[in-house]
Structure formats: C-alpha cells, structure tokens
Amino acid sequence: MSDNTNTPFANFEKRVIDACAVLSCTDTESKKLLTPDRIIEDTVRLKTEKGEEQFDVYRVQFSNARGPYKGGIRFHPAADINEVKALAGMMAIKCAVVGVPLGGGKGGVQIDAKQYSKKDLEQVARGFARVLHEYIGPDKDIPAPDMYTNPETMAHILDEFEALEGKSVPGAITGKPIALGGSLGRGSATGQGGVYVLEEYVETHKLKREELTVAVEGFGNAGSNVAQLLHALGYTIVAVSDSRGGIYKKDGIDPYHVSKVKAEGKSVTDVYKEEEVEKISNDEFASVECDVLIPSALDNSLREDNADSVKASIILELANGPTTPEADEIFKKKNVHVIPDVLANAGGVVVSYFEWVQNRMHFYWTEEEVQEKLRPIMANAFHDMCSVSAQHGVSYREATYILAVERILEANRYRGR
C-alpha cells in the first residue's frame, strides 16, 4: 500500500483492499482491481488571454470490465494524476454499486478555472478533445461534467470530437445541453439521486422529514439542488456554505433564495442580514448543529481532526471523497451513518447512462420518465448496500465496496482477467 496517507488514491486503495479481504480475493485479483487499464497524460498548449500557456491533461481509464469507461472531467488546480486515478477507480465502483453497464474513468485538466474567461475555457475543452480523441467514443470512454465543467464544456468537447470524427456522435459525451442530445433531469441528477437515497434511509429508519435538520456544505450543482429538493420535501435546511464561508439559521434557510443571490455572483454569506443568521467559517462547518450533514464540495473535508466534533447522525456524501478512512473509524465509533459517495452521488452517472441510452436509440424521455427510472435504481442500490452491511457487520461504505468489488470481480473472471 502507498505510504502517502490520505492521498485520494491511498484512501481508495485502502477501501478496495478491505473489500478484497472480506471477499478472499487472490493477490492477482486485488492487484487487477487497483491497477488502471490505461493512464493518458498529455499537455494542451494554448494562447489564452494571459499569453502562451500549457496545461496538464489527464484521463485515467480504470476498468472497462462491466462496460465502456465512464466518468467526468474536472478543471481544477488539484487535478493531478493521483487524484484522477482515485476518482477513476471510484467511478468503476460507483457504476457497479448502482448496477449500470459501464466501467470507470476520470479526466482532469490542471487549471484554476476561476482565473480564465469563457473563451479560454472553451479552448481548453477543445484541446482536451483533440488530445484524447482516439481514446474517446460511445463504445470506448464517455466523459461527463465534474468540478468546474458544465454542459457548455461538454458541448465544446463534443463539437471538437465530432469535427474530428466527421460525423454526429452524441453518445460520446454525457451531461450535454438538451439542444445537443442531453437528457432531461441530468442537471439535477446528482442532488436528486442523493435525495432518493436519503428518503429510503428515512423510511427504513422510520424518521420524520419534518423533524430533520440538514446542513449542506458547498453550494455548487449538487449542493444547491439537494438543498432545494429537500426543502421542497419538508426537511429544514439550517446551514449552507460556499468557498467564502457558511451561515446557520435555526428556523430554516430558503435555498431557492440562496440560489438567486448566488446567481448574482454573491456568496451564501451575503444572503441574509447580519442579525438573521449566525456566520460559520468553513473550518467550523463540519461541527454545525444538524441531523443530516451533506458534504458537497471538496475531498477530505471530514478528517481525523474534525470528525469527533460532527453533531449529525447521518452523513450523505455528495462530494467525491469527503471523508478520510480515519474519520470513517471515528464515525463508526460514534454510530454516525455515512451514506458513501459511491452511492449517494451516483444519480449523476445514472442519468448520464440514461442520456447515453437515449442518444443510442435516438428517442428521448420526459423528465417524469427519467425520474421514474432513476428512483428504483437508487433505492435498490441502497437496499443492496444495507443487506451487505447487515450480512458482514460492516459500515455502509465497506458494504458498497464489497458489493461493487464482487460485481467487478465477476466480470473480470468471465473475461479471464
């Protein structure tokens, strides 16, 4: 095992190794589960508004045992090979947990997207498509949005890709604008999937939504959608945050109002008057008073040094990798239920899968049809996880890894890998 503790890949490695131990995998089998099929590293050279620049580009194709590689692309300064490799492996786990016929991959461009104009970011997206052209396609590897990439980015990648192919290939990318063959419901899918999973938890544990308070860390796509959807269902959103800080309001925050103010380029901390809310720093956010904590921002936000201060009894991980293995141990002792990222945020890739299916049959579903298909997939995966958790006496996270590793192993074995 890597001695670099808490690097994203070391965390992923630990979780897979633990699942392999339960499943009595051979060394060769575990090694296969931890070794990406292919790592593509390149650079994109561009003339941006700042001058001649060069950006590191990565795509890790982790496993295609269960179907074509699938996973997002992030534009982020921390997107290095270690992180992209871990996220690619997690995509393979995620797709297996929800049982969609796709493998795992992830891409990244090391860039601080906030520092660049839309025009520059379009050039970066097109550069990404050129560099990766031969490796991408509906039967090979299907990128999608992730941090600091969005439907517009996907439109630019698709346009460049199709120009190189000389034909229309909408199924090569998901998370596209509706006008280019995107799926209804994809924009809110990560938040919606998380809501469906939380609803199953709430029903199983016979809790009452109206009595549950929720804190959402991060107010990007996943965070803002989950806050709005839960608010509409009767949960009380008591705290929200963004990169500039957080707010706590005991009698409830209106997330629609927060979104409106955020759309004007302001922070969540600017939404209410001083006397109406309590300001919380991002370092304090984990310990905010609530029943459900929803990390929806960066990785490693729940760590050994702050896990003990968490007041929530349920953590719904909409971010990828928000909890370190050390924090997991603390949550186990405190009896905090962590609904892990590979299930909680899988709604995004499930609707990406729907988009890919619709692109291939050239027939499109209504928003209702998308929701009708998404809900049972999320609910079944939740109950599969609960059964494995009860069967082996392990946490939800351990259960999801056992479930997924078993499914990937089965596919590897049939292929003789």
The residues annotated as belonging to the active site are 106
Residues 6+ apart with CB under 8 A from 296: 216, 217, 218, 219, 220, 222, 223, 226, 318, 319
| Helix, strand, coil share (%) of the chain residues, nearest 5 | 50, 20, 30
Q: Closest separation between CB of residue 106 and ligand GLU, Å? A: 7
Nearest CA-CA partner of 3 in 90, 85, 92, 82 = 82
Please name the residues in contact with 28: beta carbons below 8 A apart, sequence gap of 6 or more: none
Write down the residue that tokens 């995998």 correspond to. 25
CB under 6 A: which stretch of 210-218, 283-291, 346-354, 407-415 binds ligand GLU? 346-354
Q: Which is nearer to ligand GLU, 70 or 85 (CB)?
A: 70
Nearer to ligand GLU, 219 or 248 (CB): 219
Considering the complex, what minimum distance in angstroms separates the CB of residue 90 from ligand GLU?
Answer: 8
CB of 341 to ligand GLU, least distance (A): 8
Task: Tell me the window of 192-200, 248-256, 324-332, 347-355 that interacts with ligand GLU (CB under 6 A).
Answer: 347-355
* Alpha helix positions (H), 205-246: 221-233
Size of the site for ligand GLU (CB under 6 A): 13
Burial 164-184 (b: 16+ CB within 10 A, else e): eeeeebbbbbbbbeeebbbbb
- Packing angle between helix 396-415 and helix 27-34, nearest 10 degrees? 100
Instruction: Reduce the secondary structure of 163-207 to three states and give it as a string.
Output: HHHCCCCHHHCCCCCHHHCCCCCCCCHHHHHHHHHHHHHHHHCCC
Other CB atoms within 10 Å distance of the CB of residue 339:
25
Q: What residues from 351 to 370 belong to the interface with ligand GLU (CB under 6 A)?
A: 352
Cβ atoms of residues 59 and 135 within 8 Å = yes
Task: Tell me phi and psi for residue 71, to 5 degrees.
Answer: 165, 160
Is residue 144 involved in binding ligand GLU (CB under 6 A)?
A: yes
The reply on whether position 63 binds ligand GLU by CB under 6 A is no
- What is the distance between the alpha carbons of residues 106 and 87, in angstroms, rounded to a whole number? 6
Residue given tokens 């008057």 in the structure block: 273
Measured from the CB atom, the residue of 40 and 237 that comes closer to ligand GLU is 40
The residue sitting closest to ligand GLU, measured at its beta carbon, is 72
Distance (Å) of CA 71 to CA 4, 414, 415? 25, 24, 22
* Of the residues 348, 358, 381, 404, which one makes contact with ligand GLU according to CB under 6 A: 348
Task: Say whether residue 349 binds ligand GLU (CB under 6 A).
Answer: yes
Give yes or no for residue 70 binding ligand GLU (CB under 6 A).
yes
* 38/360 Cα distance (integer angstroms): 26
Stretch that binds ligand GLU, among 28-36, 69-77, 161-169, 200-208 (CB under 6 A): 69-77
**Which of residues 120 and 341 has its CB atom nearest to ligand GLU in the complex?**
341
Between residue 366 and residue 395, which ones bind ligand GLU under the rule CB under 6 A? none
CB of 146 to ligand GLU, least distance (A): 4
108 is an interface residue for ligand GLU by CB under 6 A: no
Residue from 63, 110, 183, 320 touching ligand GLU (CB under 6 A): that is 320
Contact status: 72 vs ligand GLU (CB under 6 A): yes
For ligand GLU, the closer of residues 93 and 288 by Cβ is 93
Contact set for ligand GLU, span 152-181 (CB under 6 A): 174-175
| Contact stretch for ligand GLU (CB under 6 A) within 2-10, 162-170, 348-356, 376-384 | 348-356
Interface with ligand GLU (CB under 6 A): 70-72, 94, 144, 146, 174-175, 320, 345, 348-349, 352
